[in-house]
Amino acid sequence: MSINHFGFNSNDYHKTVSFYEAVLATLGNKKIITIEGDKAVGFGQRFPTFWIGNRGDSSEEKCHVGIHIGFAAKTRRQVDDFYQTALKHGAKDNGPPGFRPLYHRFYYAAFVIDPHGNNIEAVNHFDWRAYIILSVESLPRYISFISLFHNRMLVYSLHFIFLLVVESITSQHVRIQHMDVDTHHDVVVDTQTPHFSWQLAQEYDSNGYLIKDIKQIAYRIVVTKAIDNEIVWNSGYVSSSSSTHIFYKGVPLISDTRYAVTIKYYTTQHQSQWYTAHFRTALFSLTDWAGQWIGSNNINMNQLRTVVTMKSTRIQSATVFISGIGYYQLYIEGQQIDKTRRLDVGWTTYQQRTLYSSYDLTQIFNTTNQLGIGIMLGEGWYNRQQWIIGPGARPDLSEQYGSPRVLMQLNIVYIDGTNQSIVTDSSWLGREGEHRYDSVYMGTTMDLRAVRSCWSCAKFIDPYSLWINASVLPSPVNFTAGGQLSLQTMDPIRIGPDALHIATSGNKGNVNGVQGGSLTDGGVLKPISQDSVNGQVFDLGQNFAGWCKLSSLNAPKSTIIQLRYAELRYSRGQNGIDFAGLYYENLANIAVMDTVILNGTGNETFEPLFTYHGFRYLLVNGYDNINKDNIECYNAHSETTLIGNFSSSSDVLNQIQHNILWSQLSNSMSIPTDCPQRNERRGWLGDAGLSIDETLFNFDYVNFYLNFLTMISDNQLPDGSVSDTVPFTVGFSPADPNWGTAYVTITWYLYEHTGDISIIEKYYNGIQAWIDCLSNQHQKTGLAKMYFYWGDWATVDKTANTSLTSSYAYLRDVHTFINMSRILNHTENVQKYTQLYQELANEFHNVFYNTHLNVYVDGSQAMNILALALPDVVPVSLPGIELNGLQTITIYPRMSYDADLLNYVKAEVVTIKGSIRVEWSRTSVNAVNLSIVIPNNMDAIVTFDSLIKNGQCVKLMCDDEIIWMRGEMNDEMKLSRDINGVNDLSENKLRNTMSVRVASGEYTFVAYWK
């Protein structure tokens, strides 16, 4: 148990405080913080651990005299669970879970009165310490802002300057993160050179404000084997400001082995305590596998089972490695392992790369010496029905489908050091279970009459079904062609509260004025309305991806119930329809239907398996007694953490942000998809490349996109070409340039959002080959007839010149590659491709510029914007092109000149170094308030745009002090007085902007303009 703080409330508050202030000083304790308004005071040596509360405090949490204990919670979810459990066991509510900003910005707590009248609390306030928790990440999330909001909804652009030197080593990475984003407890790495990152503790002064300008000066890392504490790497004292991307440099790590990493860092203020976390390794080599792929080509063998007899219950570790395709679910003694994990493993080009997952089962196998193991299989994407080859089919990728199959290996290490492995082989028994049919597109059919209770239990006996030996089937991986069996390093698809973790400090629930479901409600949606006309139609109130579960079903045996899903519904009288039915036309040729056949035993439950749907409305046929209370619908998506938060005074912008978040999650299903509802759901490169920047500002999906990037690389041909989709099932190969550009775009944005050079290093040669492939196409046709398939896809009109859009993608890829070459110091390529770019830029202008209209091509918005977006394409001698090209475009008004439309913005992005927060509001026509928080070990440049057209900044204040005022000569630009953390000022007179460089800490600015 960990006590976070303790104390009591007093009727004579000031007298009590005076007493303890005196006596505690003798023990080295002091008054650390006083809550505004004399609500409470905290004593301690570095952090307030003993509190005295004011009996007169009006907040409901402090209205009881008696002992107060604050129990430490590792996550906010634990606070919520503490509160609900306490109420169930007789406690009285004394303050529901939520943030308590009167104590601290990140103070998340719940209060109850226990049965004896004591005030107890569970609290999580992660920023008061530096926590380290390893997570299954291929690299750390390190947000490298070029601008916090590229659409410039903010007046301010935050340009973050990184003071780190990142080593140029290609490797997989392990992230160490703060406790509040504690999404991973079992960390697995599939590399012998992981790297580590940590977050510096935020420290507060006696008034509760962040101490500014804390920089790391050194660190020390020690990695040991968990079994015997043998040191495998001791970095020693390393003088460095780097707290991310620190690569392991010890002896080679061993397959399927547990390790501990312990870290201490040193800052300009103090040295930290030692922090310890644990990780384990995957199977590094194919020779580490002893199991066989099993299943059946003769029957639908979707249930397999075996019984494990252990040598002893004195087990040191039990680790399972498993891959089931299309999908699998693992059961032990009748219980599903990792109950919220679904649609596992992730979809890949199976011939080239098949993924496997791993679980730590040590606690389960410590209970008894005999256990039953069961595996449920689904067809998933390993089904011919889902395998659609487009017009650009490649002979090297045959149709990849077949009978479901599974490979599993359970490694047990006993206390005495001996080992035992349980593997899949032909001794396993299998049958067709109650799960009769599944299709990603068409839905699932389940016959509950075929349910066999506890079929995965060791003592299970089935007098009714025929269980036969499984067959050994070929591996889906083509190892002779370089295929690989790889650990799934991205997070799995999940449902429920484990699918989405909240790292931002904003309040839970939707912003006022936003319509739709709340992402913070635990991933479970209940119907908000029910319509009994022509079937039971339920409205979930939000379009999302997932499925619905029915419970408390009571009907005769063999009753058939069907569930239909749709995004829209007809209104009565619409299109000649006289009932409010569902709209299916956008689903193309798929049924989107789940079916269950009841057993008639009463209170039955049906949840679809191995499928998902994109929908808002649910139609239930065949069961008239269904009502809203019998339905739960699950929002399914690849597990992630919400790291971005945005709200403003504009209901329109808030609704757009809400829609973005839900749409992004609905299209994150182990790969970024184009849609969740119809007969595609493919990994279109165009969709992925356009959405990645937005995604990484909102969600921790770095590993998700790294997996997709690896699939693009796997799919690349020797001539450098990539395909429109991965896995390549539809579209063309080579890809349309505006689709293939995702190879370059995803790599670049991953680097920008992480600061990890090794990402560029890993894919550099492949990107160069793709650009050279485009150059070969260009040499055949020139830019005037640059090839295309999709062009400016789904435009309102058809005036766009598709060769121009392909040329734009080609030039942008070359320009980005030049930047990558500079980062890696590849000077020869910098020179080579800079010359190529200049030649292409001149050709672009000469080919597409319309000298008669002073525009590009026909002057449409897309044509002009693409030309203007490319550096050095539009000659400086054409100053009118910007006006002629943009004068017809309607852009959402900038806050600077339209205070009535946007007068408040609050935004946050959680990085691996901590939370970056920005909040501004208009105080008058010519003044604005800005509050920011910059994490430790990071500097920032805060840029103020003019609030008035052609205006100038006349005064700038920071933390209630004037730091600069314009002089009579209008050219004075220096700090009028020193403010802690503020380092420099600069002005851009051409753009009418003002910039301030600040160190880490919390700042409040006021800028005045005229």
The whole-angstrom separation of Cα 234 and Cα 224 is 9
Predicted local confidence at residue 215, as pLDDT: 94
Q: What percent of the chain has pLDDT over 90?
A: 56
Paired sense of beta strands 67-72 and 119-124, if any: parallel
Dist. CA 818–CA 836, nearest whole Å? 10
Comparing CA positions, the residue from 940, 1001, 932, 959 lying closest to residue 204 is: 1001
Q: What is the pLDDT of residue 878?
A: 77
- What is the mean pLDDT of the segment spanning 425-429? 98
Q: What is the pLDDT of residue 95?
A: 85
Q: Is the pLDDT of residue 640 over 90?
A: yes
Q: Which of 181-185, 509-513, 717-721 has the highest mean pLDDT?
A: 717-721
Q: How far is CA 790 from CA 2, 702, 776, 927, in A?
A: 59, 28, 20, 47
pLDDT band, residue 798 (cuts 50/70/90)? low
Say whether pTM exceeds 0.85.
no
**How many other C-beta atoms can be found within 10 angstroms of the C-beta atom of residue 26?**
7
Q: What integer pLDDT is reported at residue 183 of this predicted model? A: 36
Q: How many residues does the chain have?
A: 1010
- Contacts of range 656-664, beta carbons closer than 8 Å, 24 or more positions apart: 658/510, 658/511, 658/514, 658/515, 658/516, 659/516, 660/694, 660/698, 661/519, 661/698, 662/516, 662/517, 662/519, 662/542, 662/543, 662/544, 664/691, 664/694, 664/695, 664/698, 664/699
Which domains, from first to last, does the chain contain?
3-124 (3.10.180.10), 289-385+399-489 (2.60.120.260), 498-504+526-636 (2.60.120.260), 682-886 (1.50.10.10), 895-1009 (2.60.420.10)
- Residue 897 pLDDT > 90: no
Would you say residue 63 has pLDDT above 50? no
| Neighbouring C-beta atoms of residue 603, cutoff 10 Å | 8
Please give the Cα distance from 151 to 727 (Å, whole number).
32
Question: SS3 letters for 792-857?
Answer: CCCCCCCCCCHHHHHHHHHHHHHHHHHHHHHHCCCHHHHHHHHHHHHHHHHHHHHHHEECCCCEEC
> 454's torsion region: left (phi>0), alpha (psi -120 to 50) or beta?
left
Q: Are strands 50-54 and 484-487 parallel, antiparallel or unpaired?
A: unpaired
At 885, the pLDDT band (50, 70, 90 cuts) reads very low
For the stretch 228-274, pLDDT in tens is: 999 999 999 999 999 988 999 999 999 999 999 999 999 987 889 89
Residue 37 pLDDT: 61
Taking all residues of the chain, what is their mean pLDDT, rounded to a whole number? 85
Neighbouring C-beta atoms of residue 971, cutoff 10 Å = 9
* pLDDT per residue as tens digits for the range 475-507: 999 999 899 999 999 999 999 889 999 988 765
DSSP-derived letter for residue 894 is P
The residue-averaged pLDDT of 90-112 equals 77
Which carries the bigger pLDDT value, residue 81 or residue 403? 403
Per-residue pLDDT band at 974 (split at 50, 70, 90): low
Give residues with Cβ within 8 angstroms of 867, minimum separation 6. 804, 808, 844, 845, 848, 849, 856, 873, 874, 881, 885
Q: In the 8-state DSSP scheme, what is residue 932?
A: E
The strand ranges marked E within 17-107 are: 30-34, 40-44, 50-54, 67-72, 92-93, 98-99
- Summarize the confidence of residues 79-86 as an average pLDDT: 84
CB hemisphere CA count around 342 (13 angstroms): 23
Q: Give me the pLDDT at residue 164, please.
A: 24
Contact 556, 598 (CB under 8 A): yes
> Which amino acid would we find at residue 200?
L
Span 565-614, pLDDT tens digits: 999 988 765 555 555 678 888 888 888 999 999 999 999 999 999 999 99
Lowest mean pLDDT among 121-130, 779-788, 840-849, 927-936: 121-130
The answer on pLDDT for 128 being more than 60 is no
C-alpha 499/C-alpha 491 separation (Å) is 9
**What letter represents residue 401's amino acid?**
Y
Q: Which of 112-116, 944-948, 967-971, 973-977 has the lowest mean pLDDT?
A: 967-971
- Report whether 815 contacts 837 (CB < 8 A): yes
pLDDT digits (tens, 9 = 90+) for 200-210: 987 877 777 77
Q: DSSP characters for 373-415?
A: EEEEEE-TTSSGGG----TT--TTS-----S-EEEEEEEEEET
Give strand pairing partners of 644.
Answer: 909
- Candidate from 14-28, 32-46, 338-352, 364-378 with smallest mean pLDDT: 32-46
* Arithmetic mean of pLDDT, 175-193: 59
Beta bridge partners of 69: 6, 120
Least confident of 330-339, 421-430, 498-507: 498-507
Summarize pLDDT for 818-865 with one digit per residue, the tens: 999 999 999 999 999 999 999 999 999 999 999 888 889 988 888 988
pLDDT at 392 > cutoff 80: no
